[in-house]
Amino acid sequence: MSLSVRSFEIPGGDARDVSETAVAAFLSSVEVERIETAYDDGAWRLLILFRDRREQEEAAQIAQAVTSALKHWRDRVARTAGVDPVGILDDEVLGAIARYVPTTTLELNIVLGSAAESISQHHEEIVSVVRDTLGELV
């Protein structure tokens, strides 16, 4: 999730209350990383570096859906092969896939790094599960 920047100006006088209210409303809707302030020419200037909470919530929902779908797929493949589900796809790798949501085998290889080789026979299936899950969310 990316960082964004927004600036505000809080002038003196009658407009101050309206500006402060706008800043307060904005701050309640984001996750603030940093605030820089300066006073210049009779007004406070704010520069706010933030992350949008809606994006965080959306990313969490996507990760949860992908995790659930991959666990279902993993359990099905493990039953067919007669092995432990963690032997097909361990929880750490599953979590990385759900966090980064790779939709191509190249992206999956990048996300998995050295772990990619251990599950290479399932790359296409995993990417397909991720794509199908994203398609269902739209």
Q: pLDDT digit string (tens) for 17-40?
A: 888 999 999 999 898 999 999 999
62 and 118: one domain?
yes
- Residue 54 has a pLDDT of 82
Query: Domain span at residue 26?
Result: 4-52
63 and 34: one domain?
no
Work out the number of other CB atoms within 10 angstroms of the CB of residue 67.
Answer: 17
Q: What is the pLDDT of residues 50-59, one digit of tens each?
A: 988 888 888 8
Q: What mean pLDDT do residues 92-118 have? A: 90
Q: What is the pLDDT of residues 62-74, one digit of tens each?
A: 999 999 999 999 9
117 and 61: one domain?
yes
- Residue 113 has a pLDDT of 87
77 and 117: one domain?
yes
- Residue 57 has a pLDDT of 84
Q: What confidence tier does 100 reach under pLDDT thresholds 50, 70, 90?
A: very high
Say if residue 48's pLDDT is above 60: yes
Work out the number of other CB atoms within 10 angstroms of the CB of residue 48.
Answer: 19
User: Can you give the pTM of this predicted structure?
Assistant: 0.67
Tally of domains within the chain: 2
Work out the number of other CB atoms within 10 angstroms of the CB of residue 1.
Answer: 11
131 and 76: one domain?
yes
